[in-house]
Amino acid sequence: MINLVLFGPPGAGKGTQSEKLIKKYGFVHISTGDLFRWHTKNDTALGKRVKEIMNSGALVPDEITIAMLKEELDKNPKARGFLFDGFPRTVPQAEALDKFMKDNGSAIHFVVALDVTEAEVRTRIAKRRETESRVDDEEEKLNKRITEYFTKTIHVLPYYESQNRLNTVHGIGDIGEIFESICKVIDK
């Protein structure tokens, strides 16, 4: 079974495509955004620590994020077929993930990066704002998330590319067609 990372800017469609991929391939889905939202909603100690950072649109510090991820992996020591969504978002996170997988006798086989322009992402999130209420979707916070992506997260791409683990999929257009393109990468 393969382990992969689904990568892309906020609003790239990672959540939508993850759902479809889980149904088709039975991946164990690990979304750090969902995990952080669960902690803040349930007001856990971790939730209290990250709430303000998250709501501002900034990245949670690596130390906290990596510890949470490790805990999640330790809950599923025998699982195979992880789909990571929203993690890694920095190079230290990518390195930590490789190490954890290696320690479990496994690996991140490849990354699927959804290629979506900044203009498209802004339009999509503006629409999402009308139907869902995510505090971090507000204009100013969204700007922060996009800045975080283009200043920090983008550097994860050359990390995987230099190791021949990067696959880019055009992320604009029909959801079903984008899904087919991702499946092609996985099936190959």
Give me the catalytic one of 128, 129, 141, 152: 128
User: Under a CB-based contact definition with an 8 Å cutoff, are residues 87 and 93 in contact?
Assistant: yes
Buried b (16+ CB within 10 A) or exposed e, 112-146: bbbebeeebbbebbeeeeeeeeeebbeeebbebbb
Residue with smaller CB distance to ligand ADP, 141 or 165: 141
What are the residues whose beta carbons fall under 8 Å from the beta carbon of 17, sequence distance 6 or more? Answer: 6, 114, 175, 178, 179, 182
Residue with smaller CB distance to ligand ADP, 90 or 167: 90
165 given a catalytic annotation: no
For the bound state, the minimum distance from the C-beta of residue 84 to ligand ADP, rounded and expressed in Å, comes to 9
14 given a catalytic annotation: yes
For the bound state, the minimum distance from the C-beta of residue 122 to ligand ADP, rounded and expressed in Å, comes to 12
Residue with smaller CB distance to ligand ADP, 53 or 183: 53
- Positions touching ligand ADP (CB under 6 A) are 10, 32-33, 36, 53-54, 57-60, 65, 86-87, 89, 93, 136, 145
Residue at 45: amino acid letter: A
Is the preceding peptide bond at 9 cis, omega within 30 degrees of 0?
Answer: no
Nearest residue to ligand ADP, by Cβ distance, number only:
33
Residue with smaller CB distance to ligand ADP, 175 or 184: 175
Task: Say how many Å lie between the first and final Cα of the chain, rounded.
Answer: 13
For the bound state, the minimum distance from the C-beta of residue 172 to ligand ADP, rounded and expressed in Å, comes to 16
187: tokens are 């099936």
User: Under a CB-based contact definition with an 8 Å cutoff, are residues 104 and 72 in contact?
Assistant: no
Tell me the pairing of strands 166-170 and 110-115.
parallel
As a whole number of angstroms, the distance between CA 100 and CA 69 comes to 10
49 given a catalytic annotation: no
For the bound state, the minimum distance from the C-beta of residue 170 to ligand ADP, rounded and expressed in Å, comes to 18
Give me the catalytic one of 134, 141, 152, 165: 134
For the bound state, the minimum distance from the C-beta of residue 184 to ligand ADP, rounded and expressed in Å, comes to 23
Residue with smaller CB distance to ligand ADP, 118 or 184: 118
The residues annotated as belonging to the active site are: 14, 89, 128, 134, 145
